Amino acid sequence: MALLMETRLLLRKVKDLRCLTVRWSRVKPKWATTRPKYPATRLALHHFDVAYGSQLGPLWPSVRVALLCEKKYGALINNFSHHDAMAELQLQGCKDFISDTAAAERGGEEVSQSDLQTTSDASVHSNIKCLVFPEETSYLPLLSRPDSDGLLGYYLMDAASVLPCLALDVREGHTVLDLCAAPGGKALTIMQTYDLGFLCVNDSSVSRTMRLRRVLQSYVPKAQLSDAKVHISSFDGTMWGDVERDSFDRVLVDVPCTTDRHSVTEDDNNIFRKNRVGDRRRLPQLQTALLLAGILAARPGGEIVYSTCSLSQQQNQGVVEQAAHLALEQHGIHTQIVDLKPLTQKFSNTFHFAPGLSVGEMVVPHLAANFGPIYMCKLRRLT
């Protein structure tokens, strides 16, 4: 009898539970209607599997793993700060990959003809110092301390981002335009070089330009920023040619792109979100318009560096070829691609470069050197 009672009680509990379960499943959680079926990071990865699987072939699986793993940082030393951040970081095992390469060259064996040019480049840029840990570790102390003037000692960034600035080969007195400059890592790198004639940093996004201003204020003395030599603007870069043409010695065109590493790891502000399909499809068109504007802004004989943080052939080589074609067809401007091999060869111990690119150079992420992707191509304006 007691057993029968217990069984009945148990059955009632199960029935109650079933009711509960049914009621629960009837109530749709609020997020069920808004939550995307596939997160943007997954869509990005799928897109890259198709596009880069065929573009990079056997290289893609290792690049894919590296993209999904923690990236490695570099610390750009701020020469304007009184802090000896360099010594501090060196004590922790960091090495300046730029001066190390220059020193190796100076102490090295025979110097070839192509190296002659790059050796002089290295001396020009010995002011740029970027420290990385030599081992397979991504750790870098995240906080840089302000000095007595409130200026920070170093800026954390992808160390490969320094390469387009080195390729730009800025010299004393040069006038430089950074067309898409926010949040400002490359502008800050350029400012570490020589005494520039004039630097114009521009970004079409007002909020990002404010961020760029804050970054520069944290690293560059006030006097230098309020000097007429640095100008911060917020124009649509594609229209730059309407304002100013044929004037800059150097132009950096670091365009918006699919930001491959961000796209496979962060859902926030991801260009692979369903509502941003249009933005993504228009990217090559926007990039071409920006590069064309950069070519128009350079003086004849001036040099332009185009860069992205994407592996996409369409956004890289495709854009360079199309912009050079339009410069000639629409404006009668001849350009020439400058070989960056002599520069990248010097850094082959620090970065992995994609083999056999016909136009430009590209750092590809690798587990043992998890920097990039960074694509760069240098053009010289001939007419």
Ligand X SMILES: C[S@@+](CC[C@H](N)C(=O)[O-])C[C@H]1O[C@@H](n2cnc3c(N)ncnc32)[C@H](O)[C@@H]1O
Q: How far is the C-alpha of 6 from the C-alpha of 132, rounded, in Å?
A: 69
H helix or E strand, kind and range, residue 302: strand 298-308
Its sign, for the CA torsion 213, 215, 221, 224, is negative
Determine if 360 is a binding residue for ligand X (CB under 6 A).
Answer: no
Beta strands 74-77; 130-132: pairing state: antiparallel
Residues β-bridged to residue 75: 131, 156
Give the residue ranges of the annotated binding site for S-adenosyl-L-methionine. Answer: 180-186, 203, 236, 254
**Residue 254 found at the interface with ligand X (CB under 6 A):** yes
Residue in 121, 169, 203, 303 binding ligand X, rule: CB under 6 A: 203
Annotated catalytic residue 257: no
Q: According to the binding rule CB under 6 A, does residue 373 interact with ligand X?
A: no
CB of 183 or CB of 360, closer to ligand X: 183
Q: Work out whether 280 is an interface residue with ligand X (CB under 6 A).
A: no
CB of 185 to ligand X, least distance (A): 4
**d(Cα 314, Cα 22) in Å, to the nearest integer?**
51
The answer to the question of residue 237 lying near ligand X (CB under 6 A) is yes
For 5, 155, 211, 213, 353, the CA distances from 371, given in Å and listed in that order, are: 69, 16, 24, 26, 10
Site for ligand X in 168-187 (CB under 6 A): 179-186
- Can residue 256 be called a binding residue for ligand X (CB under 6 A)? yes
Q: Which is nearer to ligand X, 119 or 167 (CB)?
A: 167
Residue 129: name the closest of 175, 177, 81 by CA.
81
Spatial CA neighbour of 296 closest among 238, 237, 241 = 241
Query: Would you give the binding string for ligand X spanning residues 132-171, x where CB under 6 A is met?
Result: -----------------------------x----------
Looking at 82-90, 110-118, 198-206, 357-365, which segment touches ligand X (CB under 6 A)? 198-206
CB of 136 to ligand X, least distance (A): 25
Cβ atoms of 75 and 105 within 8 Å: the answer is: no
Q: Which residues are catalytic?
A: 309
Which residues of this chain interact with ligand X, rule CB under 6 A?
161, 179-186, 203-205, 208, 236-238, 254-256
